[in-house]
């Protein structure tokens, strides 16, 4: 068990560019979550997968945001046409079942849009 891994740790991009982040969850965990955290705030739920099925995506911030988990293992979060307001920490978490065992978070990807 190597924990939840997120790459890259930091990403600086120019406004208007597309970015993609990767999350590798704990292998036994069937649920995977994406959150966004802005400065001074708690994490904000974005989307959720159970195995390869994306069961909740209505909280994605706009249609510029999309996520995939093609084989029920790793996941990617893509932001198209980035804006300065997208600058934040993007966190991935995984859990087994309904989360009674806890949710394990990765170290996050910090995005800076310039």
Residue 93: exposed, middle, or buried by beta-carbon count in 10 A (0-12, 13-18, 19+)? buried
Q: Is 61 helix (H, G, I), strand (E, B) or coil?
A: coil
Among 7, 41, 51, 73, binds another protein (CB under 8 A): 41
Number of residues that bind another protein (CB under 8 A): 27
Q: Which residue has the tokens 């990403």?
A: 11
Among 25, 43, 75, 86, binds another protein (CB under 8 A): 43
Our finding on whether 1 is near another protein (CB under 8 A) is no
**Closest Cα to residue 113, out of 7, 21, 15?**
15
Residues that bind another protein (CB under 8 A): 4, 6, 33, 35, 40-45, 48, 55-56, 59, 91, 93, 98-100, 102-108, 110
């Amino acid at each position: 068990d190597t924990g939840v891994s997120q790459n890259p740790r930091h990403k600086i991009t120019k406004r208007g560019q597309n970015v993609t982040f990767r999350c590798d969850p704990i292998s036994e965990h069937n649920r995977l979550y994406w959150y966004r955290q802005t400065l001074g705030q708690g994490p904000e739920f974005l989307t959720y997968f159970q195995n390869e099925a994306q069961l909740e995506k209505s909280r994605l911030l706009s249609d510029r945001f999309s996520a995939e988990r093609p084989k029920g293992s790793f996941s990617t979060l893509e932001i198209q046409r980035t804006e300065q307001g997208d600058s934040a920490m993007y966190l991935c978490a995984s859990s087994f079942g309904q989360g009674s065992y806890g949710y394990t978070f990765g170290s996050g990807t910090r995005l800076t849009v310039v």
